[in-house]
Amino acid sequence: MAVVAVTGATGFIGRATVAALVAAGHRVQALARTPEAAGGVRAMGAVPIRGDLSDPARLSELVSRADALVHCAGQVRGVGYRDFAKVNVAGSARLFAAARRAGCAVLALSSLAAREPSLSHYAMTKRTMECLLAEPDAPAPAFVLRPPAVYGPGDRELTPLFDAMGRGYAPIPGNPEARVSLIHVYDLAAAILAWVEGGARATGIHEIHDGHAGGYSWNDVVATAEELRGAPIRRLVLPAAAMRATAVLNSGWSRLAGRAPMLTPGKLRELRHADWVADNASLLGTIEWQPRLDLRAGLAATCDWAGASSDNGSRHEQPLRRNLYPFARVARALRPGRHQDRAADQAGGRSGSGFGAGDGSAHGAGGPSGRLHSDELPAGRRDDGRSGQGDGGQPRRLSLFDKFEPIARIRRDIEASGIDPLGVPIERIISATEGVIGGRRMILAGTNNYLGLTFDDDCVEAAVAAVRSQGTGTTGSRMANGSYDGHMALEAELAAFYGVGHGVVFSTGYQANLGMLAALAGPRDTVMLDADCHASIYDGLKLGGARTLLFKHNDPADLDKRLGRLGEAAQHTLVVVEGIYSMLGDMAPLAEIVAVVKKHGAAILVDEAHSMGIVGQHGRGVVEAAGVMDQVDFVVGTFSKSLGAAGGFCVSPHAELDMIRYASRPYIFTASPVPSVIASVRAALARLRDDDSLRDRIWGNANRLHRGLSRAGFTLAAPPGPVVAAVFDSRETSLAFWQGLLDRGVYVNLMLPPATPGGKCLIRASLSAAHSRQQIDHIVAAFKDIGAPLAKAG
């Protein structure tokens, strides 16, 4: 494992590079200019170093303990030479000086444009950067890569061209027969990884491309896109005179507006240059690397409109360009046979586990694979990955545990800080809202016990009676010997509660999503899901093998656009959303989403895990509040939140739901819920159905806590609801705040990247109908007591 310093980590190429390095087990420390960038770095599993290329002290800190430096940062937009030189020349010079002092090897990303420095200020500054590494006092070894046009998920320069081709036309900025080499960002990241894993010893300036000798003409690119799109694309050759006029106008406007445009006279000269063909020969003899993605495969892995073919390798490549893209699967695919245990195949979504269960979305943890490559910790892990005894009685390290070393290291670091959120047992439960931790009485505000029914007399007595009459367990699956009369009665009661005809009960809420989606959505099906959906949803889709596409979180317009792109295939698409999302506590605009779904003839599944019992006139969730119960195909829920037990369910108006029992492996091969759980859930459901006061009380508590924290100046993630999450700007601040609340008798959830959407650090409180006003006020007072000094420190 190497320690690698990276600049430009939150840029297009930098994100791919960091993801490839982290997925391969290396420790990455990355320069971050802003708190937001630092959060993004943490979310990728790297350690942020706050600062920029103008700060020599931060640059020295960045490289001081690094084995290698990868310099991805670069200025690509500007008008005059100074605009580019500030970063590409002066900033690079400071960085290289720090690397030389630290004895750190350097890989610098240049550009194929550097071989034609007279074309543009950008090309000139990139060439100058290369010359810095040839000086006598330059760091050594020094390795320079000159990529041609780089494309892939997250790219902003070529994306407009690809989007246009997806709509049926291709704007061509120059001679359609001019030649240009290309490289997919995953291949470029794999080459950087190969240099690191080769000991960071290779030197020299090397061009790189995707292996297609002689490059591509614009006509070649459009022809490949037509093949993938399955329809003609109209070629629009842009007039040279019009482009020159636009470039001149852009440059003049940018000087007045203080903003750097993309199209300038220099950029236009680059675009219209006749020959940007790269030569891989010197590179292939220097590092152990081969390109894997030619233009066809690269486009299929980049453009959602190019993903129709089931064999193009793009089944799980998402059309949504998020800051956190699942590079781990691609990193493995690019290096077959090596580090096969380093990464897991993902359906899109966060990889690794942070603190808390996570929601498995496209930019957070607990993702579909559960691969552990973040700088956070999986819940409940206690060891450092060692097993057995070696020679001399010393512990022998089992290679299977090598992948966990970054996790173990962070675990040790956090334990050394004296703050250990994962090692805090609740020693005794006093009531639905109180417990004992560390010998002290605590208010429990992190249990998801929304209606406070875990100590309800009727529920407890029903559970006890079931244990006495039916024993402690079923000892079998529903398909074998585990289907009791209580299971069937609960299914009928759930279907009646939702006013539909059919229901199925699962052993856990996780299995409800896993079992439903694995059976409903197979390899020939398409599923469109909200980017922030829970890990269980991603895992069910991965198990079933469906083609998986994302739409922007809570964005019906984006869903409409993406379903529209599917054409007739939208009528065979399942849309998956949640009622309330567990991390931030925000609610889906379900009426608008359902209207879009029905417009395109698709089906919809709604996960009401965090909204059942809380939202709607009768507690049926957001489907009821939005007035769309009769338009939703499937409602999935859990017994572990409002109903105070464990288990899950799905209800549906479709009689074919019963077929799930014969097709769902998680249902068929799992022991059925124990009688005591079924009995307590039935009692809780009856209480929910008959007692509206529970919903009134939790909403009163939610509004009171939200109002108190908002007035105290805290940034809250969503409007009032059963989850109230305060947002913090760093892991350190969040850890200290969590400990401060615990010291003041309040237990809440600490949620850190990548378990959270957008790389946010959260202190998450989940409210209960059983909380008293005095307890809510105590929680607010504890926040206010420690909030101001920590906010200043953060």
User: What residues are labeled active site?
Assistant: 582, 610, 641
Tens digits of residue pLDDT in 180-195: 999 999 999 999 999 9
If one counts the domains in the chain, the total is 4
CB 30 within 8 A of CB 49: yes
pLDDT band for position 106 (50/70/90)?
A: very high
Rounded CA-CA distance 440/431 in Å is 14
Q: Is 605 found in the same domain as 541? A: yes
Would you state the pLDDT for residue 417? 62
More confident position, 523 or 361: 523
pLDDT band for position 169 (50/70/90)?
A: confident
Tens digits of residue pLDDT in 45-75: 899 999 999 999 999 999 988 999 999 999 8
User: Exposed, middle or buried by CB within 10 Å (0-12, 13-18, 19+), for 51?
Assistant: middle
Instruction: Give the end of a domain, one of 690, 721, 755.
Output: 690
More confident position, 128 or 364: 128
Residue 518 domain flag = yes
Would you state the pLDDT for residue 251? 54
* E strand or H helix that includes residue 729: none
Q: Is 490 found in the same domain as 370? A: no
Would you state the pLDDT for residue 51? 92
Q: Residues of the chain with pLDDT > 90: what percent? A: 54
**Identity at 38, one-letter amino acid code:** A
Q: Is 654 found in the same domain as 566? A: yes
* 344 has pLDDT over 60: no
Q: Is 106 found in the same domain as 28? A: yes
Least confident of 303-307, 362-366, 552-556: 362-366
* 226 has pLDDT over 50: yes
Q: Tell me the CATH number at 637.
A: 3.40.640.10
Residues 662-679, mean pLDDT to the nearest whole number:
93
Q: Tell me the CATH number at 24.
A: 3.40.50.720
* 276 has pLDDT over 90: no
Residue 326 domain flag = no
Residue 324 domain flag = no
- The CA-atom distances, in angstroms, between 771 and each of 156, 265, 553, 704, 721 are 49, 65, 31, 11, 14
Q: Is 703 found in the same domain as 647? A: no
Q: Tell me the CATH number at 779.
A: 3.90.1150.10
Q: Give the global pTM.
A: 0.56
Query: By three-state DSSP, how is residue 528 classified?
Result: strand
Rounded CA-CA distance 558/318 in Å is 13
pLDDT band for position 334 (50/70/90)?
A: very low
Q: How many CB atoms lie within 10 A of CB 208?
A: 27
Would you state the pLDDT for residue 161? 82
Tens digits of residue pLDDT in 579-633: 999 888 999 999 999 999 999 999 999 999 999 999 999 999 999 999 999 999 9
Residues 204-230, mean pLDDT to the nearest whole number:
90
Residue 703 domain flag = yes
Residue 321 domain flag = no
Rounded CA-CA distance 771/443 in Å is 9
Would you state the pLDDT for residue 262? 60
Residues 445-449, mean pLDDT to the nearest whole number:
94
Would you state the pLDDT for residue 118? 82
In 664-730, which residue ranges form alpha helices assigned H by DSSP?
665-668, 675-690, 693-711
- Containing domain of residue 591, as a range? 456-690
Residues 198-219, mean pLDDT to the nearest whole number:
91
Residue 166 domain flag = yes
Least confident of 193-207, 298-312, 477-491, 646-660: 298-312
Residue 333 domain flag = no
More confident position, 2 or 253: 2
* E strand or H helix that includes residue 678: helix 675-690
pLDDT band for position 391 (50/70/90)?
A: very low
Q: Phi and psi dihedrals of 163, rounded to 5?
A: -60, -40
Would you state the pLDDT for residue 260? 56
Would you state the pLDDT for residue 171? 82
* 374 has pLDDT over 50: no
Which distant-in-sequence residues (6+ apart) come within 8 Å of 49 by Cβ? 5, 29, 30, 31, 32, 58, 61, 62
Dihedral of alpha carbons 558, 560, 566, 567, sign? negative
Residue 332 domain flag = no
Q: Is 544 found in the same domain as 463? A: yes
More confident position, 493 or 439: 493
Would you state the pLDDT for residue 235? 84
Tens digits of residue pLDDT in 281-299: 899 889 999 999 999 988 8
Give the mean pLDDT of the chain: 82
